[in-house]
Structure 1
Amino acid sequence: MTDCGCDKAKESLEEYLHNELCKDDASDIREHIENCPECSGEHRVGLVLREAVQRACQEAAPEDLRDQVLARIRTIQAEHA
């Protein structure tokens, strides 16, 4: 395979992290990341960020906050009905 270069690797990093690239493109990006310290670092940052977002999306709002928001929505709806 040929080195896709830093520009291509950085441009495609998001799609690579989400497994949205075709097999050949993913292979090129993976090979470049394995051999480029700068892009490897960006890849690690992307992985950490993706994992943090996934964890944050799994958290639920406290029940009392949920109740307050729903009560406020009902109040606003009643005022505009």
Structure 2
Amino acid sequence: MSDCGCDKARRDLEEYLRHEVCKTQHADIREHLANCPDCQNEALVARTLTEVVARACKEAAPEELRDQVLSRLREIQQTH
């Protein structure tokens, strides 16, 4: 294994976090992240953002809000 460097680690970070890189690349990026505080911070931000978006996608809008949006859409459709 070898340290892949910041450029490669950052370029492939999203794929790395989704386990979409080959085993060799995964090991190289993991090694780089273990030794580079700047890239560790990038990875933390990316991981946190991914988790927040995933949680938000699981939440349902309150029924009242859903009804208001649908009602407004119907109003707009009737005037066009």
TM-score of the two chains, using structure 2 as the length reference:
0.85
Distance 1:79 1:22 in 2: 54
- Counterpart residue type for residue 31 of structure 1: E
Gaps of 5+ in 1: none
Distance 1:23 1:78 in 2: 56
Query: Per the alignment, in what secondary structure is the counterpart of residue 30 of structure 1?
Result: helix
Distance 1:5 1:50 in 2: 23
Question: What's the counterpart of residue 46 of structure 1?
Answer: 46
Question: What's the counterpart of residue 14 of structure 1?
Answer: 14
TM-score of the two chains, using structure 1 as the length reference:
0.84
Distance 1:24 1:77 in 2: 54
Distance 2:63 2:41 in 1: 39
What is the CA RMSD across the aligned residues, in angstroms?
A: 1.4
Gaps of 5+ in 2: none
Identical aligned pairs, as a percentage?
61
